[in-house]
């Protein structure tokens, strides 16, 4: 029997849980203990392979000090939320994915702590040169 892929919203909510947990410096084990779960269950929630029920999300939100709505911010729209007829902004899922990585979070914190704007600009220029892309994400010609 084939395993069904995770629902995109479940993946998004799980990635937001992971991002906030990492931002707070909390381990999966600590979050699991606070919820009365194993760290493996927390892993499944964060990957979106197991859905987070409403009452469990309320608990997680309290522990991570965010309103439950935080975990849906930037979620895939689909048919869930009505739009007002204006076009959607380009997806920012790559930002969530990046900050959800330990390295992404470390890089983000370190970069944000650099006070000198010229130094920050030079770092961006360096990373763009190494990646071989413009700041738009397009390859350099």
Per-residue buried b or exposed e for 59-83, using 16+ beta carbons within 10 Å of the residue's own CB:
bbbebbebeeeebbeebeeeeeeee
Give me Rg for the CA atoms of the chain.
18
Structural domain count, the chain: 2
- Residue 137 belongs to domain spanning: 101-141
Q: Is a pLDDT exceeding 90 seen at residue 67?
A: yes
Q: Is a pLDDT exceeding 80 seen at residue 96?
A: no
What pLDDT is attached to residue 80?
A: 44
Percent of the chain with pLDDT over 90: 40
Answer yes or no: is 91 within a domain: no
Q: Does residue 34 sit in helix, strand or coil?
A: helix
Q: What is the DSSP letter of 139?
A: B
Please enumerate in sequence order all residues whose Cβ is within 8 A of that of 45, keeping only pairs 6 or more positions apart, or say none: 14, 17, 52, 60
**Looking at the structure, do residues 44 and 112 belong to the same domain, yes or no?**
no
**Looking at the structure, do residues 124 and 55 belong to the same domain, yes or no?**
no
**Looking at the structure, do residues 55 and 1 belong to the same domain, yes or no?**
yes
């Amino acid at each position: 029997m084939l395993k069904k892929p995770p629902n995109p919203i479940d993946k998004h909510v799980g990635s937001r849980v992971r991002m906030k947990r990492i931002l707070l410096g909390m381990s999966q084990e600590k979050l699991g203990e606070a919820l009365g779960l194993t760290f493996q269950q927390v892993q499944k929630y964060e990957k979106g392979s197991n859905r987070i029920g409403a009452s469990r999300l309320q608990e997680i939100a309290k522990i991570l000090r965010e309103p439950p709505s935080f975990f849906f911010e930037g979620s895939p729209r689909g048919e869930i939320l009505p739009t007002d007829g204006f076009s959607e902004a380009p997806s920012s899922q790559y930002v969530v994915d990046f900050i959800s990585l330990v390295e992404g979070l470390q890089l983000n914190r370190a970069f944000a702590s650099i006070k000198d704007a010229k130094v920050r600009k030079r770092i961006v220029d360096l990373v763009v040169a190494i990646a071989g892309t413009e700041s738009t994400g397009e390859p350099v010609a």
